[in-house]
Amino acid sequence: MDRFKSVAVPSAQIAPQDAAKTRPRRADPLDLEFLDRQSLGDPGLMDEILRQFKDRLTLYFSRVTASTDVEGLAVDLKMLGLAARGVGAWTIGELSAGAEAELRDSGVVNPERIEDLALAVAEAETWLSERISRMPD
């Protein structure tokens, strides 16, 4: 049992690729602090990024669900994950990467993984729609 003791690791020792694993889960599907940094604190730029992400999210997830070939599915999962990580939608990014890795390793994706991704996408789309509806034109 001693070999399973937890060990505290200073955050400075966590590799950048592991940073998403240490982030606390947030109530919002997007990390607004991250997005604020990405948009250099410009609220107008943040609004435009959110509008563009909503369009990309809908586009790439519809392609994921309609895909009929492994290569196309892999590309769409990659694009969805990259778009999500670019705005701080960590859950969608992680789920997309997991599905992509599973597809790469075995040639198939567990349908439950796609269902989990669908739930995360639906939550983000609802959140984005509500937020966009309150944005100035």
Residue 19 is assigned to a structural domain of this protein = no
100 is written with which tokens? 């992509």
φ, ψ at 36 (rounded to 5°): -60, -40
19 is written with which tokens? 């940073």
Residue 1 is assigned to a structural domain of this protein = no
Residue 97 is assigned to a structural domain of this protein = yes
The pLDDT of residue 2? 36
Q: Model's pTM, two decimal places?
A: 0.78
Residue 6 is assigned to a structural domain of this protein = no
Residue 76 is assigned to a structural domain of this protein = yes
Residue 56 is assigned to a structural domain of this protein = yes
Amino acid type, 45: L
d(CA 116, CA 96): 10
| Domain that residue 80 falls in | 27-133
Residue 31 is assigned to a structural domain of this protein = yes
The pLDDT of residue 136? 86
- Domain of 104: which CATH number? 1.20.120.160
pLDDT, tens digit (0-9, with 9 covering 90-100), for 94-133: 999 999 999 999 999 999 999 999 999 999 999 999 999 9
Nearest to 95 by CA among 107, 75, 77, 111: 77
Residues of the chain with pLDDT below 70 are 1-26
Residue 54 is assigned to a structural domain of this protein = yes
99 is written with which tokens? 């599905």
**How many folded domains does the chain comprise?**
1
